Amino acid sequence: MKVTKFWIIVWEVYKKNVRSMAFILMVLSPILIAAAAGGIAYFVSQTATVPEIAIISKNQQVIEALSSSKGEYTLNKKITTEKAAKEALKKEDLAGYLIIEEKNDTITGNYIQSTTSDAVDTTLITQLLTAIQTNQVASKLGLSQKDVAALVTPADVKTTTLKFENGKEETNQATDAMIKRWSAYIVAFAIYMFTLYYSSIIAQEIASEKGTRIMEIILSSVSATQHFFGKLVGILLVCLTQILSYALIGTIVYQIGKSFDFMQEALKGIDLFALLKGLIGNSIVFFIFGIMIYSILAALLGSLVSKVEDVGKAITPLTLLTLVGFFGGMYGFATPNEPLVKIGSYVPFFTPFMMPFRIASDTVNSTGVWASIIIMAVFTMICTYVSLTMYRSNVLIYSDTSLMKSLKRSWVIMRNEKTKQS
């Protein structure tokens, strides 16, 4: 019978929140934003025009070489003088014009554009002019094309990070490290958003029942322990539903979108399997513990107030801790080796935000990772025990005093009850 009552509480909390407009908007808002961004990107790519430029030069070879470029710009061959080019630019018939001069085997170019012109990437122009200049000098020196190719071939430099784990050497490519770091960023941002939302929800759940005196009726048929865990499990199931919704929608969007050219272009060079592996690895453990710690403490803080209107003030400490953790994680994203980040990654409130970045940058070994997980697990159990004990003491106490006074009084009541039992 007790189990049945527990699941009734879970189901009611779950049903109420999943059907709420706030939850629906919470689920749909990232999807709508992503869809809008994708639509804008697609529209821009379809309507984008290739800028037209003119080249002013006496060297026909240079003009022909520059006109061979496709996609970056088109060449207006009718305009051959600076005066005509400037007039066309004034009328906005040109995006710009390039004046090329040659002196002492050196080619110089001056690209002129107006403030309203379409932007032209001059990097390609610079590369083409450099190649022409190199060939001209090589020809004068009597060098073959093979000699020129050997001279201009750039050195090949790769970045490999060595990681020493249990005395063994492991390699980590720069691309893998970047994927891990962005996976950590996604997890940190998700924890930040989910923590703020669900901490508020669970605190409101308890405060609303307490404020309307319904709590007295509820606790006459179920224990405070069942009520506490019922609310907590119900909210965590709502959180799980939201995550699964994103996973399902993301899979559908990917399957449909990968047939479009612009989606293929956007995903080019991105290893989705490696990205998902980074998200589902250790990061999911920190995500779960982070949500649990903040939700448990939110339930306690929600039981300290007598009105829903006071929930915002009650969970302010949690909100501040979340902000510190999130911005600490962003700081760790840039500087994972800083002592402040290393210390903060073992503080349970901040571990979910900071430790994923340290793992991604390989600045912590497996012993450190497991130590942080154990610390979080122990801290979660302590939080659960303390919150549940204090919840039993104050859930039926109504007061308009400050949060600290309510917390202190709850602590005194809890100690008195323990003294009576002993």
Reported as a pLDDT band with limits 50, 70 and 90, residue 398 is low
Q: Measured in whole angstroms, how far is the alpha carbon of residue 117 from the centre of its chain?
A: 34
Name residues whose C-beta falls within 8 Å of residue 169's C-beta, 6 or more positions apart in sequence. 162, 163
Question: pLDDT: is 102 or 403 the higher one?
Answer: 102
Closest C-alpha among 235, 183, 195, 249 to residue 32: 249
* pLDDT computed for residue 14 by the predictor: 92
% of the chain at pLDDT higher than 70 = 78
- In whole angstroms, give the CA distance from residue 399 to residue 303: 11
> Tens of pLDDT along 134-150?
877 777 777 777 777 77
35 vs 109: CA distance, rounded Å: 42
The pLDDT, as a whole number, for residue 195 is 87
pLDDT score of 306 more than 60: yes
Per-residue pLDDT band at 185 (split at 50, 70, 90): confident
- pLDDT tens string 256-275: 766 666 566 656 655 666 55
Domain boundaries, the chain: 52-151, 165-421
Tokens of 331: 């700081």
Spatial distance between the Cα atoms of 349 and 319, rounded to a whole number of angstroms:
11
Query: Whole-angstrom Cα distance, residue 136 to residue 154?
Result: 19
Which pLDDT score is estimated for 67?
Answer: 77
Burial 262-277 (b: 16+ CB within 10 A, else e): ebeeeeeeeeeeeeee
> pLDDT-derived band of residue 56, with 50, 70 and 90 as boundaries?
confident
Q: Is a pLDDT exceeding 50 seen at residue 152?
A: yes
In this predicted structure, what is the pLDDT of residue 375? 95
Look at residue 376 and tell me whether its pLDDT is greater than 90.
yes
Angstrom distances, CA of residue 125 to CA of 132, 152, 194, 201:
11, 17, 48, 57
pLDDT band at 1 (very low <50, low <70, confident <90, very high): very low
User: What CATH number does the domain located at 52-151 have?
Assistant: 3.40.190
What is the average pLDDT across 356-378?
A: 88
Is the pLDDT confidence value at 3 over 70?
A: no
pLDDT for 237 equals 93
Element at 112 (helix H, strand E): strand 106-113
Rounded Cα distance between 315 and 294, Å, is 10
Question: Model confidence over 321-348: pLDDT tens digits?
Answer: 999 999 998 888 888 888 898 999 999 9
pLDDT at residue 175, as a whole number: 55
| Eight-class DSSP state of 295 | H
